[in-house]
Amino acid sequence: MNNWTKRWDDRYKSEEFAYGEEPNNYLKEQIKKFETGSILFPAEGEGRNAVFAAKLGWKVSAFDISEEGRNKALILAKNNNVLIDYQVGELETLNFQEDQFDAIALIYAHFPAEIKSKIHKQLDALLCKNGVIIFEAFSKKHLEYVTKNEKVGGPKDIESLFSIEEIKADFPDYEIIELEEKEIELSEGLFHNGTGSVIRFVGRKK
């Protein structure tokens, strides 16, 4: 097991949910604007967002590198009487198909800096024409916030954080419904608490 996987397994193996059981606010607000269909949650951790989408009637797929995250997600799904297809592994090892999904939700999906753009491009191929991406993650400006308050969480290296320019570069063939950098208040479980700076993006694939 590499250090990256171990870090997330360690975070998810306690009984308490690291980021809570409630969905992310931005996802909750945005997903309701679209017709239900098939949706993918990359780096889905303990399943709070995937389970919420399933309760709304979406056909949900998810993946993460953490077996512990999957275990918690399946318990949460069972407790909410929904089913989610949750795989463990790195994206290229999983059997997703081109044009498979109507939506992809990237909620704090902070992949290692050296592969984050590559993964975005791989995900783009899995989204069908007119499919939507819903994205919220920490911006490069967030470094100032996490330095002042570690409880807000998020990566501490600038390369793992996002800019508007990076999102435009990674998802070039999209109608931008919304794309902004914003200061928000987070209250998500144990690890996202306080003021942070995020990039929010909703885009439709042309």
Please check whether residue 164 is in contact with residue 199, taking contact to mean a CB–CB distance below 8 angstroms.
Answer: yes
Residues 6+ apart with CB under 8 A from 196: 138, 142, 145, 146, 152, 153, 154, 183, 184, 186
How many independent structural domains does the chain possess? 1
DSSP at 93:
G
Render each residue's pLDDT in the chain as its tens digit; 206 residues.
678 889 899 999 988 899 999 999 999 999 999 999 999 999 999 999 999 999 999 999 999 999 999 999 999 999 999 999 999 999 999 999 999 999 999 999 999 899 999 999 999 999 999 999 999 999 999 999 999 999 999 999 999 999 999 999 999 999 999 999 999 999 999 999 999 999 999 999 99
DSSP string, 101-169: EEEEEEES----TTTHHHHHHHHHHHEEEEEEEEEEEEBTTHHHHHHH-GGG---SSGGGSB-HHHHHH
Structural domain containing residue 43: 3-205
CA dihedral 105, 109, 115, 117 (to 10 degrees): 50
User: What CATH number corresponds to the domain at position 80?
Assistant: 3.40.50.150
Supply the pTM of this predicted model: 0.96
